[in-house]
Amino acid sequence: MRILKGNPVSRGIALGKVYIYKAFKADVHESYFEAGKEDEFYKKYQDAVKTAEKELDSIITSMTGESPEKAKIFTAHVEILMDEEVEEGVKEMIYESRTMPDYAVDEIYTHFANLLEKAKDPLIAARAADLRDVRNRVLRILKGEKESNLSSLRENVIIVAHDLLPSDTATMDRNRVMGIITEVGGATSHTAIIARSYKIPALLGVADATAIMSNGDNVIMDALTGKVLLDPERETIKEYQEKLVEYIKEERETSQYLDKIPLVASGERFSVGLNVGNTDPDESYKYVDFVGLLRTEFVYMGSEHLPTEQEQFEAYRRVLANAMGNPVTLRTLDIGGDKTLRYMVMPKEDNPFLGNRALRFCLVHIDMFKTQLRAALRASAFGPLQIMFPMVGTMDDIRAAKAVVEQVKQDLRTEGIAFDEKIHVGIMIEIPSIGMIADMAAKEVDFASVGTNDLTQYLHAVDRMNPAIADYYQSMSPSMFRMLGRIFAEFNKAGKSISVCGELAGDHLGALVMFGLGLRKFSMNAANIGRVKRTLSLFTLEEAVNIAKNVQNLSSEAEVIAYVKAEVEKRS
Ligand code: PEP
Ligand code: MG
């Protein structure tokens, strides 16, 4: 059995046979025709456009009732097809340079697609895929080939492709597609968006998938943890069949909790927040009370240059708009460690996770830090934004960061630029040294959020990226819960807001223990909302407090997990 890794962009599990899908690949060469045939070749192009329009119209008609959203993609394709600049460009190449229609179409569409791709707005850049899609349609028609798509599959399959174009995903026979695996594509690509909306498990970025797998291969795709298992043994198949049944059952149950008010069985309320790393609108915003973590790295990492104040301001404003009046916790740049910026030279360090990372980096690159703070403060005039610093280790760190905020505020005041004068400023607690003096930190900040991902790494001295020591990385250890209990107690005592935005908040077992330890604010990825709301609703406050007390006296993480799991199962 071989295991391939990928990025799970649409959750789920699928077992089945591989169907390698290769979309039409245009083989276009630079070529010209002799003088006098201009009208003939222009007509050929116009006929191809007409046929393309007919094909698109019939796709739109077949989709309008069932999924108007998808139909819109093809309405946009018709607009591209009819676009005057495109039309003029092709016509000019045919009449003025006697270019063969296929070469002219390829040149003009590719030119515009490349331009779009350079757009700073990722949504506009993603439209380049639509242009290429329309280009391929016209080129295929010019070559006299029939439409080959995923709309008439004969059996249930897991599609494996280099990439899928919008027309592939939108026309595919989704009753037969059990999963999608592609070699390229990110979480905001068309494929990812459509897969999620159809609830088809999808793993993107699986390197060399089409070369390694063949038609008819048996595979298991685990789009919960990001794995493809090739040619699995009988035992593994059985194990995954059980996992699948469990997953379906759980999804059904937990999705009913999405829009419920988060309450435990004895009636106490808790808050659920969303962790966000882009500006896309998402229905999950409806199910939460706040954005507990806006990872601003996406603005920096998705750009070819250091993002300007205006670019950042616009991105943050968009997230505020998505949050519909709920508070948004903007975390300042957390670069270093495993994250680098391609346009910035970052000296190599022996221990980057213990190095010049996050706030430390920002305090050295003060202009960059100020630019981000200006953008954040300006955005705070448009909605409830709060600022949070990552990788805080000492009181000096807090004071230094706050001093920069004060300077930037003063600059804005002098320039007459609006911002929220009462903006809350807080810290992430992810280094044990600040956790140990949480009482002092609580006096110095408006709020804190615990980053359990890093707290586990630093408390247990385990590199979170190193798979060889993954067993040592224990977020549910008794020591973690003792540390967390201490932090929650100090912040609660000081009357300052405390939340958790690390993965442990989205783990229903971890969330239950933390509720018992006094936590009331849990910020997580969208996929975990229903499950956390459901599990906590099964326990009274007293029961959760008891569980939290007990886990701190167990002697290993394995014991903690087994114990809490058993408590949940008793009530499920
Ligand atoms: C964390 O460390 O728990 C956290 C939320 O931050 P990140 O995962 O981005 O380091
Ligand atoms: Mg962190």
For residue 231, pLDDT beyond 90: yes
Range with lowest mean pLDDT among 214-223, 306-315, 485-494, 525-534:
525-534
Q: Rounded to whole angstroms, how far apart are CA atoms 407 and 166?
A: 48
Q: Where in the chain is the domain with CATH 3.50.30.10?
A: 2-22+150-252
For residue 468, pLDDT beyond 90: no
Structure tokens at 37: 């045939």
Catalytic sites, residue numbers: 190, 501
- Read off the pLDDT of residues 45-56 as tens digits, 9 standing for 90 and up: 999 999 999 989
Q: Rounded to whole angstroms, how far apart are CA atoms 6 and 207?
A: 8
Q: What is the pLDDT of residue 186?
A: 65
Distance 410 CA to ligand 2 centre (A): 29
Structure tokens at 298: 């996406």
Q: What is the pLDDT of residue 188?
A: 56
Q: For 245, list phi and psi in degrees, rounded to 5.
A: -60, -45
Using the structure block, give the residue that is written with the tokens 């003029």. Answer: 88
Note the CATH architecture for domain 2-22+150-252: 3-Layer(bba) Sandwich (3.50)
Distance 502 CA to ligand 1 centre (A): 5
Q: Is 334 in the pocket of ligand 1 (CB under 6 A)?
A: yes
Of 520, 523, 517, nearest in space to 327 by CA? 523
- Read off the pLDDT of residues 132-156 as tens digits, 9 standing for 90 and up: 889 999 999 999 987 767 876 878 9
Threshold 0.75, pTM exceeds: no
For residue 293, give the ligand nearest its CA: 1
Please check whether residue 165 is in contact with residue 185, taking contact to mean a CB–CB distance below 8 angstroms: no
Apex 454 CA angle, 358 and 549, nearest 5: 140
The closest residue, in CA terms, to atom 1 on ligand 1 is 451
The closest residue, in CA terms, to atom 9 on ligand 1 is 295
* Strand arrangement of the beta sheet that strand 227-230 belongs to: 2-5, 227-230, 218-222, 13-21, 157-161, 177-182, 202-204, 7-10
Q: Is 452 in the pocket of ligand 1 (CB under 6 A)?
A: yes
Fold annotation for 259-428+499-571: TIM Barrel (3.20.20)
The closest residue, in CA terms, to atom 8 on ligand 1 is 453
The closest residue, in CA terms, to atom 4 on ligand 1 is 451
Buried residues in 80-115 as b, exposed as e (16+ CB within 10 A): bbebeebeebbbebbeeebbbbbbbbbbbbeebbee
For residue 480, give the ligand nearest its CA: 1
The closest residue, in CA terms, to atom 6 on ligand 1 is 451
Q: Is 156 in the pocket of ligand 1 (CB under 6 A)?
A: no
Mean per-residue pLDDT, 3-12: 85
Q: Where in the chain is the domain with CATH 3.20.20.60?
A: 259-428+499-571
Q: Is 502 in the pocket of ligand 1 (CB under 6 A)?
A: yes
More confident: 509 or 184: 509
Distance 186 CA to ligand 1 centre (A): 20
Q: Rounded to whole angstroms, how far apart are CA atoms 369 and 148?
A: 51
How does the average pLDDT of the chain come out, rounded? 92
Distance 390 CA to ligand 2 centre (A): 7
Range with lowest mean pLDDT among 125-129, 349-353, 405-409:
125-129
For residue 450, give the ligand nearest its CA: 1
Q: 38-142 maps to which CATH number?
A: 1.10.274.10
Distance 337 CA to ligand 2 centre (A): 10
- Separation in Å, CA 29 to CA 46, 92, 107, 301: 20, 18, 10, 36
Q: Is 543 in the pocket of ligand 1 (CB under 6 A)?
A: no
Please report the atom of ligand 1 found closest to the CA of residue 293. 5
Distance 334 CA to ligand 1 centre (A): 9
For residue 452, give the ligand nearest its CA: 1
Q: Rounded to whole angstroms, how far apart are CA atoms 87 and 129?
A: 19
Best residue among 275, 276, 294, 295 to mutate for probing ligand 1, ranked by most atoms within 8 Å of CB: 295
Please check whether residue 438 is in contact with residue 487, taking contact to mean a CB–CB distance below 8 angstroms: yes
Range with lowest mean pLDDT among 241-255, 274-288, 340-354:
340-354
Please report the atom of ligand 1 found closest to the CA of residue 457. 2
The closest residue, in CA terms, to atom 10 on ligand 1 is 454
